[in-house]
């Protein structure tokens, strides 16, 4: 597989872009990388996106695709239910046996 080189652009000299790749792959966040190379966190995120589109191997930030679960109160019975987002506010029992079953059909 051929080596993918980083192109120098007016806003991103070659040394800065290489430093970004190195710091990003060390696990630093976008604000941390930006502070070290003199760029904003948003500029770092945009450059990372462009480098990934060009085929560079940059480590992902999320360990899993599983969303974080928060305990929320069921709107019908009042019991705590693990919820992945604010719109998920009914427990499984109320979804199956409650008055909301007609909405699932």
Written in H, E and C, the secondary structure of the chain is: CCCCCCCCCCCCCHHHHHHHHHHHHCCCCHHHHHHHHCCCHHHHHHHHHHHHHCCCCCCCCCCCCCCCCEEEECCCCCCEEEECCCCCCCCHHHHHHCCCHHHHC
Domains of the chain: which residue ranges? 1-61, 70-104
Q: From 1.10.287, 1.10.3470, 1.10.10, 3.10.450, which CATH number describes the 1-61 domain?
A: 1.10.10
pTM over 0.85: no
Please state, for a pLDDT cut of 70, what percent of the chain lies above it: 79
pLDDT digits (tens, 9 = 90+) for 59-98: 776 555 556 678 889 888 888 988 877 788 888 888 777 7
């Amino acid at each position: 597989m051929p080596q993918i080189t980083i192109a120098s652009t007016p806003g991103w000299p070659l040394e800065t872009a290489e430093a970004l790749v190195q710091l990003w792959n060390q696990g630093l966040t976008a604000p941390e990388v930006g502070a070290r190379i003199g760029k904003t966190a948003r500029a770092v995120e945009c450059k990372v996106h462009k480098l990934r589109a060009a085929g560079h191997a940059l480590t992902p930030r999320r360990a899993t695709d599983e969303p974080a679960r928060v305990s929320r109160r069921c709107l019908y019975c009042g019991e705590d239910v693990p919820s992945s987002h604010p719109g998920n506010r009914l427990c499984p029992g109320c979804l199956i046996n409650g008055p909301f079953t007609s909405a699932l059909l």
